[in-house]
Structure 1
């Protein structure tokens, strides 16, 4: 659908009215032009502070091109000089050009929208939190440092207490908008796209709440592990994870460092993917088998950590609430092989 914030809509409205003002009756033209120009400038300034999406650039450009022609007659009249207006058959192509440029904005917003997540169908509200665990027994095979140990970032979705309607929902693709932008840019590069084309994705909000209190009752929840595809990220199946959590499951999705497109660690470092096809079928078969084994070991380690959490050996909101006697392991593509 067409996603535009109220400020973006005001900028669009100001630009359109500025173009149309040229064709209004002389009596109302000055007031409409001034009001439209003020709306356009103010909304442009606000967008400059909040961050301008690329979809809005043609809107602002169209308004900027139309402004001199809209305000010139008013300024000449104010200085006492006779107002000059371009003949209609010359002004019409210019107005149509500006209108077409402005229309590019909402069309681009429709083509590259901010994702909207479906409401989960279960009777539980959904909470989410991110944990980072390091396996002291496994060296990191993607680095040369012999002291480096394998670290994974895990996002948990779980049944939660219902939050007030005004509570802000969790960011998609990351804990913060900055992390979401880093991950979005990395995914875009993997797809061979310029990052700005998908700059709406990090703005998306999911249906879960970060660090929401776990639902009461003391019951234990079955566990579902998830491993994304090659280059994929832990959040890629968020809607699916939220749906399961709303029905009473705890979903644990993994980022696999050096395989996932981008993994932002707790210390602020970003680990980018280093796995890539060589183009040689035999070599790639061997490489993918090794990468899959690393992923499988990650899944096994996370399951062990969740079991410790369920037995009370690790402190956290879900301590004592996990039933690791009922576990499903799932995945997409290479993640499916690891599962």
Structure 2
């Protein structure tokens, strides 16, 4: 009988169904059952180094510390240390011997011990957040009849450098119903249109810049981060976003100067994690020696690089400034006991 006839097609379908039903197992197996027995038998749970949060933190510290040692080793072998060119792959004739850029010395080797999610639009504007699910677990106003405990206090977010693009802040407000965001930018008059009207009551904007010193009489004014925190009655920031076009060096110098002696925990920044775009190339005050000392001072105060992506916009646009002059980093504060990411560390 030909399968082109109606009877033939019916018989063909019946045969196919019988084949499928006889081949599919009665229950869905675990993913691990697909591992070859030679591999699964070699996995010993007691040998895993990330069985607890404390173990994962310890492992992250070890891998990060190893990268610091390699950084110093690689810099010490370079003939131009400490004045290593920021982009020697672009400027040295002997490309094969020194194919480095600045970013190769400072990789993101400290592993976030939780989930890490991208928040905001793709491309420029979106940011990566370590432990986003932990922030989402904080109850919103409608989730509790009583005021939240200190451990569940509303996340405090600061954002410097808005430039009309607020997709990161908009998504944070949407996903964290108790979050509040303080924004500052001297070049625009307010938040971007991405923030919904229903969330605007949890945002605070000031047309001002982040600077190395307070300049209240300047128009627009500039303030240091400690001054703004005091104005807002904040002793702690959960998430700090910074994109201030090269002014981050002096601005963070003043932050470190202040909290090195005046912090609740001296020598530790009162900031859970930082999303920052770092700019080099145009700033003549920033060379390898200056950058290294600035970076390692931040590390000394608890900050660890857990995510990195080089901004290749200048390269792909084919401009004359074709070096990878900007990089996005996420720093997590590994020394900060108030960091939401370490909740349950001793459990």
Higher relative contact order (CA 8 A, sep 6+): 1
TM-score tier, shorter chain, comes to: under 0.3
What TM-score, normalized to structure 2? 0.19
What TM-score, normalized to structure 1? 0.19
